[in-house]
Structure 1
């Protein structure tokens, strides 16, 4: 590709002997904010997908903003709501802490893979970009599965639900289903309006809420240490269970119990790759990603472990088992008493959940916009546009509608834990596909520049764990029921069924119907008034 300016070059290894086969259209490509803005005709070229692309709204995310975006995405309701259910499922302090440590290790392996791919393909879209780049055959299959998963399972319901629970608990109001869901819907609506109409204000708010989370986690970790010296806490009551010889006493080693608990831990670490979804808006994306992501994950992992230990020091073990999603409220109550502990600090936990809703909504709306840009959602002219407020309002609505349905329609009992399980299961298939694809790309495309390279052992560990997590839900427990009151494999059947639906949908609309009606699908690019390039899937009659 000699003769082409460096800034228009794909991210290829200069020492590679593999020649590039596709050149940018220099007559129609241009530079903006130091990065390449591709002409519509270049939008789907294989080589050009390795070139950084600047969003129409510009690059508004600094290193600090990206760090806060990651922290706020990872730290939602998980550490404040799931430890009680995890301890109840696995039965011992030692096994609970072990699962959290293993979860952090697995998250680090996943982060290494996302770093390699994000630095190699520094564009918004995350998994969508990587799967499309890796699996171009069968045509449109990877894109369709990502679109189905993003629309059907891309919701913020769980953290909205916990927000409602903690707000009601803070003000000592009876937590009826109607009240809880009203608060959840209200939160999601406010967040959607802010991100859809006030872009920079939304970024500022989610950064501020991330600082609140960091302060809250540090405060809780310190309280756990201080509680050792307070006579009215439960540290003495739990002393035997916390002693090394008895740490694993009562452990439940059933595979279905371990997998269910591990899903919840994995969910609590979910989002370490959140910035990969919005790289078009990150300043100096490759350099930022390489340093920011490990720093954010290490911060979260240390605080998670310290907070779990603090729970076991302060709250009696029997109460932890029965705490449901309110273990953090019990923690504060045990230290500060009912008046302060059950009012002020649970509000901070609710605010933390609200911050998570903000960053999830922020990132998933961009993912939905990228899906719409490539023609895999209806009405791409509207859903891919950033008009009129310079924000992906269409992508926000695609996220808003299924979230509202999940909040309002399912039965109240056990809905939170079930939602976590259903969200986590299909993700294992994508993790498996991306991990295998990373190894395949190293062999098939050694010419691609990799500013960061994941450890091969980490990739294989991620593959092995994903395989186990896909099989484990179908291993029956002794009582034949899961930990949320349903048949033990219900969440796996529902999550897997969504993926099967995606495959059937892809086959019907890309193969069966075109074959019956005598046409085939081609991609046609266009440029919207706000500068967003979109791809339309048009029907071409067979000759």
Structure 2
């Protein structure tokens, strides 16, 4: 239900479908006088979750920064330097990646401040693309249910815990730990709401502290001229000439590195999915996301600097995903590096799984509240916060595909293929939100916008989405994907196939069948026993 707070009214009166006589004075609306409504226009009004607003600024910050900083900073810098050829160009790309991420972030900031409801892209696409009716909702629902799984960081957690403890990393043991982590996090978030928030906050700060420790280690080595184990400091590669030596400025090559860097900043929109639970959501969103981006960029640059002052450039280029291991071994010795580094990566991965599970469960709950999960008599359970005051239904919807993706595919080509499929359709949603933002600026100038995105940056974001959508269809030199043993564009074709399936499902359910059986779909609002307002899609016979 809506909270008893006040907000500045838009320039024109909002359509408050199903609302009581609301008192209006001094350009303000008394929100507590408005009955719960599911009308699309009412998403401009804040809505408080029945769980209450449990997320402070600090919790919101961890929710974003722990999603952004995963295990990538421990693995990708080596491959990026190998692609770019030089330290200077690699560092430049990390800054450019932050700028690209800022372009996407400001789009979500304008939408989130304009439509301060939980659900993220679901809310924004439903509001922007109201025709054809129910199409945007169906696309988001299919994408969230079919591809809304958490698998990669669960697998990484299992691998590095075993490595740190000195056990052999077998597929069975790795998947066992991965599924154990997923199950434990689901139970904690589903049964102990505030405890789960405290744990993910703790893991988030541990993760930030570990990366800051690595960064400060590099600074310490330089300031005190500490001699690393196995050789002298490679000072020449940080001189001005050494920074740019062997730089590869070819766009075709650089684009691969840019995509890797961009993925390292993914997750800045994580808070948008849970705004109903955030204290002072608009103000918090406007400050948390930029703070997280600034933190991530600063830490990434400092950690890269630490790598380059300790590890020789040629070793960096050949390190693959082991650059962090080389760094720890050269500074602290092999035994310390083999224990601390894997545990650091495991903690980072676990923190990432916690915040992703937390937010995706809320997204699933919002989809269920909108009536787009075909669950029959179970719809109320998946829409509510029963039985433990947390979105257990949304957690189950997230748990099942995540469990299957971890348990069934073997390690290797098939698993990597599934992860590629997971990310590709999201580019279409990102493109739709960016285009929709520009369209709303013209068609809905009446809406209050506490934050306005810089339009040239929005167009740059659109161009990047188009490039990412087209990229899989440009063949590599050997005509096959380097990580997959079949046609290089297969994951993109499957991703597009999922989108087409969603469109077909929408057409059958909301166009063909109603036309054939002569009925129409109407929306009815119902209040569940725990206070959650939901939409029921009902069939009304045409006379």
TM-score by length of 2: 0.90
Q: Deviations along 1:90-127, whole A, 9 cap, x unmatched? A: 55444433332221111111111111111111110111
Note closer, same or farther for the CA distance 1:38–1:206 as it changes in structure 2 (3 Å cut): farther
Deviation, 1:88, is 4.7
Q: Is the Cα contact below 8 Å between 1:106 and 1:462 reproduced in 2?
A: yes
CA displacement at 1:340 relative to structure 2: 1.0
Which residue is equivalent to 2:261?
A: 265
* 8 A Cα contact 1:84 1:321, kept in partner: yes
Structure 2 matches for 1:6-405, cutoff 5 A? 12-13=9-10, 16=11, 18=12, 20-22=14-16, 25-26=19-20, 36=32, 39=35, 42-43=37-38, 45-228=39-222, 229-232=225-228, 243-245=239-241, 247=244, 249=246, 251=248, 253=250, 255=252, 258-317=254-313, 319-321=315-317, 323-379=319-375, 380-405=379-404
Structure 2 CA distance for aligned equivalents of residues 506 and 101 of structure 1: 41
Q: Is the 8 A contact 2:94 2:301 kept in 1?
A: yes
Shift of 1:342: 0.8
Q: 1:538 to 1:315 in 2, by over 3 A?
A: farther
Larger deviation, residues 402-411 vs 481-490 = 481-490
What are the ranges of 5 or more consecutive residues in structure 2 without an aligned counterpart?
Answer: 24-29
Q: Determine if contact 1:11/1:51 at 8 Å carries over to the other structure.
A: no
Q: Which moved more, 1:383-392 or 1:342-351?
A: 342-351
Q: Is the 8 A contact 1:35 1:54 kept in 2?
A: no
Question: Equivalent residue for 2:488?
Answer: 488
- Once the two structures are superposed, residues 401-440 of structure 1 have per-residue CA deviations (whole angstroms, 9 ceiling, x without a partner) of 1111221223312567555543332222111111111111
- Cα distance per residue 1:269-311 (max 9 Å; x no partner): 1111111111100111111111222112101111012212323
Residues 472 and 488, structure 2, Cα contact 8 Å, conserved in 1: yes
Q: Is the 8 A contact 1:217 1:307 kept in 2?
A: yes
Shift of 1:20: 4.1
Contact 2:218 / 2:310 at 8 angstroms: preserved in 1?
A: yes
Single out whichever of 372-381 and 513-522 deviates more from structure 2: 513-522
Q: 1: CA distance between counterparts of 2:383 and 2:159? A: 34
SS of equivalent residue, structure 2 residue 526 = strand
Query: Aligned to 1:526, what secondary structure does the other structure show?
Result: strand
| Partner-residue secondary structure (3-state), 2:333 | helix
Equivalent residues of 1:56, 1:532 under 8 A apart: yes
Q: Give ranges in structure 1 of 5+ residues lacking alignment.
A: none
SS of residue matched to 1:342: helix
Q: Deviations over 1:135-165 (max 9, x none)?
A: 0011111111111111122111111111112
Counterpart secondary structure, 1:502: helix
The 3 A distance-change label for structure 1 pair 6 and 500 is closer
CA distance in 2, matches of 1:502, 1:327: 41
Within 5 Å, which residues of 2 pair with 1:464-483? 464-483=463-482
Q: Which residue number in structure 1 is paired with residue 27 of structure 2?
A: none
Instruction: Give me the whole-angstrom Cα distance separating, in 2, the residues matched to 1:338 and 1:475.
Output: 42
Q: Quote the offset at 1:258 in angstroms.
A: 4.2
Shift of 1:237: 7.6
Aligned length: 529
- The 3-state SS of whatever aligns with 1:540 is strand
Over 3 Å counting, the alpha-carbon distance change for 1:57 and 1:108 in structure 2 is same
**1:504 alignment partner in structure 2:** 504
My pick for the range that moved more, 177-186 or 52-61, is 177-186
Contact map agreement 2:14 2:42 (CA 8 A) in 1: no
CA distance 1:207–1:21, change in 2 (3 Å): closer
Asked if 1 retains the 8 angstrom alpha-carbon contact of 2:81 and 2:316, the reply is: yes
Q: Which moved more, 1:362-371 or 1:435-444?
A: 435-444
**1:415–1:209 CA distance, 2 compared to 1 (3 A):** farther
d(CA) in 1 for partners of 2:237, 2:418 = 31
Worse-superposed segment, 274-283 or 174-183: 174-183
Pair 163,290 (structure 1): closer, same or farther in 2 beyond 3 Å = same
- The separation in 2 between residues aligned to 1:385 and 1:430, in whole angstroms, is 26
Quote the RMSD (CA, aligned, Å). Answer: 2.8
CA distance in 1, matches of 2:64, 2:31: 24
The worse-fitting range, judged by mean Cα deviation, of 196-205 and 257-266 is 257-266
Deviation of the 1:505 alpha carbon = 2.0
User: Is the Cα contact below 8 Å between 2:22 and 2:33 reproduced in 1?
Assistant: no
Partner of 1:522: 522
Distance, in Å, in 2 between the alignment partners of 1:399 and 1:491 is 22
Question: Structure 2: how far apart are the matches of 1:77 and 1:415?
Answer: 21
Deviates more, 1:71-80 or 1:57-66: 71-80
